A and B are shown apart, each in its own frame.
Chain A
Amino acid sequence: AQSVSQHNHHVILSEAASLELGCNYSYGGTVNLFWYVQYPGQHLQLLLKYFSGDPLVKGIKGFEAEFIKSKFSFNLRKPSVQWSDTAEYFCAVKTGANNLFFGTGTRLTVIP
């Protein structure tokens, strides 16, 4: 069965620190990969997505993610976080059946 693992459940950083959130998936076929962000009290918003091509994907708000096929990973990064980045971050994988499988999410708290 497909699964998505996010090993960091809660990350606390100071402003301007660098961020890397891990995401690993288990599926042997072709996948599409997504990172979604959920700000407190809001709905899921797409940060970035990977379908093919350059494995380094740039998204909104300075976020980027790198797809490493050999490691089944799609880690999210940001060089310098801001207080406004405090949110829950979900990694998601779409397989051939066209449904999204979400990771358990990582809560990011940025301290001013």
Chain B
Amino acid sequence: AAGVIQSPRHLIKEKRETATLKCYPIPRHDTVYWYQQGPGQDPQFLISFYEKMQSDKGSIPDRFSAQQFSDYHSELNMSSLELGDSALYFCASNTKYHRDAPGYTFGSGTRLTVV
């Protein structure tokens, strides 16, 4: 079965550079969530989108922005990167139209290292 696809798997950037992470949800999933998991930390919710509109916002820095496109894939844009941005960035998708038990399917994550 198709899963949530994230690219790239690994990314190394220098401080003050920009990075773009991509997330392709499961087909027919209309909702995308972004999470950041720092080394040894639990995943923290960043932002979510439903039907191409931002639906909720968590602890996402102002240097980051995200959007969801017409094909429901989402991109997380990160500017002025800092060492502390080094983390594993997860994307998850689901659909609000599950009548039974909607669950979350996570992608394998993008590991960002800022040097």
Which A residues form the contact surface with B (CB < 8 A)? 32, 34, 36, 42-46, 49, 51, 90, 97-105
- Which residues from chain A contact B90 at a C-beta distance below 8 Å? 43-44
- Which residues from chain A contact B33 at a C-beta distance below 8 Å? 99-100
Q: Are A49 and B107 in contact (CB under 8 A)?
A: no
Task: Please list 17 pairs of residues, one from A and one from B, whose beta carbons are closer than 8 Å in the complex, sorted by A's number.
Answer: A32-B101, A34-B103, A34-B104, A43-B107, A43-B108, A43-B109, A44-B43, A46-B103, A51-B101, A97-B56, A98-B56, A98-B96, A99-B56, A100-B92, A101-B45, A102-B44, A104-B42
Which B residues form the contact surface with A (CB < 8 A)? 31, 33, 35, 41-45, 48, 55-56, 58, 90, 92, 96, 101, 103-109
A43 touching B104 in the complex, CB below 8 Å, given contacts A97-B56, A98-B56, A100-B45: no
A102 touching B42 in the complex, CB below 8 Å, given contacts A43-B90, A43-B108, A44-B90: yes
Q: Are A49 and B42 in contact (CB under 8 A)?
A: no
Q: Are A105 and B56 in contact (CB under 8 A)?
A: no
Cα(A32)–Cα(B94), bound, Å:
14
Q: Which residue of A lies closest to B104 (CB)?
A: A100
- Which residues from chain B contact A36 at a C-beta distance below 8 Å? 106
Q: Are B43 and A90 in contact (CB under 8 A)?
A: yes
Which one, B55, B96, B101, B106, contacts A43 given CB within 8 A? B106
Of listed A42, A44, A104, A105, residue having the most chain B CB within 10 A: A44
> What is the CB-to-nearest-CB distance from B26 to chain A, in angstroms, rounded to a whole number?
13
> What is the CB-to-nearest-CB distance from B99 to chain A, in angstroms, rounded to a whole number?
11
Cα(A87)–Cα(B105), bound, Å:
19
- Which residues from chain B contact A45 at a C-beta distance below 8 Å? 106
Cα(A34)–Cα(B94), bound, Å:
15
- Which residues from chain A contact B41 at a C-beta distance below 8 Å? 104
> What is the CB-to-nearest-CB distance from A42 to chain B, in angstroms, rounded to a whole number?
7
A103 touching B42 in the complex, CB below 8 Å, given contacts A98-B56, A98-B96: yes
> What is the CB-to-nearest-CB distance from A103 to chain B, in angstroms, rounded to a whole number?
6
Q: Are A99 and B42 in contact (CB under 8 A)?
A: no
Minimum-distance CB pairs A-B, first 9: A43-B108, A102-B42, A51-B101, A44-B106, A104-B42, A102-B43, A43-B109, A105-B42, A99-B45
